[in-house]
Amino acid sequence: MRRGRTLIFVLLIIIIGLVVGYVAIRQFLVTATPTIQPPTDVKVYIAGQNIPQGGKITEEVLSTMLIPQANVLGVMFTEDEKGALLNNKVAKFPLDQGAVITEAMVNDASAAVPISGPQWASLIPPGMTAMSIPANRLALSGYAINDGAHVNINACLLFVDVDPSFQTILPNLTAVLTGTGFGSVSGTEGTGFSAEGLPVLSLGVAASGSAQGRLELDPSLQQPYFLVPSEVQRPRLVCQMLLQDAVVMKLGDFPLTTATTAAAPVATDPNAAVQAPAAPDIVTLIVSPQDSITLSYLMYTNAQFSLTLRNPTDQARQATEASTLQFLLSQYNIPVPAKLPYSMQPALSTLTMPFLQNDTVPVAP
């Protein structure tokens, strides 16, 4: 009997101990577990529109953007802490719309140092220069290229053979030599004597003006004959990529900011129709001084430029081969058509685009 009471008493002690241990462990875990606070967003100031270099920072040009508290840096201007610090500030350099404004981007208006020359000159990195070249819709990839674009520059040139001494295009013109010697010679004007009365060597030349040819031997008749060119020399075309990853500084003309234009505003008619802006015909590139000299030389030799748009994050450089007629035939396996005893009608001498039903034909007014 006593043994049964003792067993019950021991079981009660064990149950009470388990309950107390469970409560203690649960209380400890709840206390040790940190309370997870929901993430909070902070408003930081951004450029609400494009701000030029030296432009004053005002509420009209600012906007705000929500970012997580963990991503807020100490150099940013938050709406609740550093918003008032943006007053009386100016932009150190041009700020694009949407850029998060930091302390390194602005300066006090009282401490701002005026920049000599145009404001866009500060966009040129040290050791580089700005160079303008002619361009059109085709050379600008259908106007897909704009300010700040990264481009490759291709150039196409025409080569001809010239006489090394005359520096004139071949073939030379031939003339008939009728006689040589001192004194008067038939076929020339004058007496053949100098102003002092001394005889001079004269050449009698009757210029025929025919192109210089070459002597050939007919394989069938074994008779020589003289070949002359049937037309002027055809130039040989070559195209190659000159520059890679050049930066476009400006598409089109820069604005004129002279005192004359600023002091004489032009009166505009409010009822006049708004004219579309003129298509740009030049593009300004940021290149090295040596590349600018190369572009200047090619520009005055009537080379044709074309710009190809590339990804600004692509820093790779590609080795390219110049494109010539021989390169096209060998690289792309283009056969030269054989001379056949039959042909297509009508005869084809030029390649023209086919006219489609929906094409429009411009009519002169």
- 1-39, pLDDT tens digit by residue? 566 677 777 777 888 878 887 877 877 766 555 555 666
Q: What is the pLDDT of residue 340?
A: 93
The pLDDT of residue 258 is above 60: no
Q: What is the pLDDT of residue 319?
A: 94
Q: What is the pLDDT of residue 111?
A: 59
Q: What is the pLDDT of residue 248?
A: 95
Instruction: Provide mean pLDDT across the span 338-354.
Output: 88
| Residues 31-64 as b or e (16 or more Cβ within 10 Å = b) | eeeeeeeeeeebbbbbbeeebebbbebeeebbee
Which residue do the tokens 């001379």 mark?
339
Q: What is the pLDDT of residue 260?
A: 40
The pLDDT of residue 119 is above 80: no
Q: What is the pLDDT of residue 2?
A: 63
Would you say 85 and 77 are in contact if contact means Cβ atoms under 8 Å apart? yes
What band does 298 get if pLDDT is binned at 50, 70 and 90? very high
Residue 40 or residue 257, greater confidence? 40
Q: Find, among 216, 229, 237, the residue nearest to 170 by Cα.
A: 229
Contacts of 364 (CB under 8 A, 6+ apart): none
Q: Give the DSSP letter of residue 200.
A: -
Percent of the chain past pLDDT 70, that is, above it, reads 78
* Interior angle at CA 335, CA 331 and CA 339, nearest 5: 160
| Spans of all domains in the chain | 41-114, 129-158+235-254+279-331, 173-227
Q: How buried is residue 303: exposed, middle or buried, by Cβ count under 10 Å (0-12/13-18/19+)?
A: middle
Instruction: Provide mean pLDDT across the span 251-280.
Output: 66
What band does 190 get if pLDDT is binned at 50, 70 and 90? very low
Q: Which fold has domain 41-114?
A: Type Iii Antifreeze Protein Isoform Hplc 12 (3.90.1210)
Give the tokens for residue 27: 């209380």
For the stretch 199-206, contacts whose Cβ atoms lie closer than 8 Å and that sit 24 or more positions apart, written own/partner, are 203/177, 203/179, 204/177, 204/178, 204/179, 204/180, 205/175, 205/176, 205/177, 205/178, 206/175, 206/176, 206/178
Task: Give the integer Cα–Cα distance in Å for 306 and 322.
Answer: 14
* pLDDT tens-digit map of 124-167: 888 999 999 999 999 999 999 999 999 999 999 999 999 999 99
Q: What is the pLDDT of residue 273?
A: 60
Q: What is the pLDDT of residue 346?
A: 87
Q: What is the pLDDT of residue 70?
A: 82
* pLDDT tens-digit map of 32-68: 555 556 668 888 888 888 887 777 888 888 888 888 8
| Residues 139-176 as b or e (16 or more Cβ within 10 Å = b) | bbeeeebeeebbbbbbbebeeeeeeeeeeeeebeeeee
Instruction: Provide mean pLDDT across the span 308-326.
Output: 93
Lowest mean pLDDT among 25-39, 52-66, 212-226, 273-287: 25-39
Q: What is the pLDDT of residue 25?
A: 80
Instruction: Provide mean pLDDT across the span 177-198.
Output: 53
The pLDDT of residue 182 is above 80: no
Q: How many distinct helices (H) and strands (E) make up the chain?
A: 4, 13
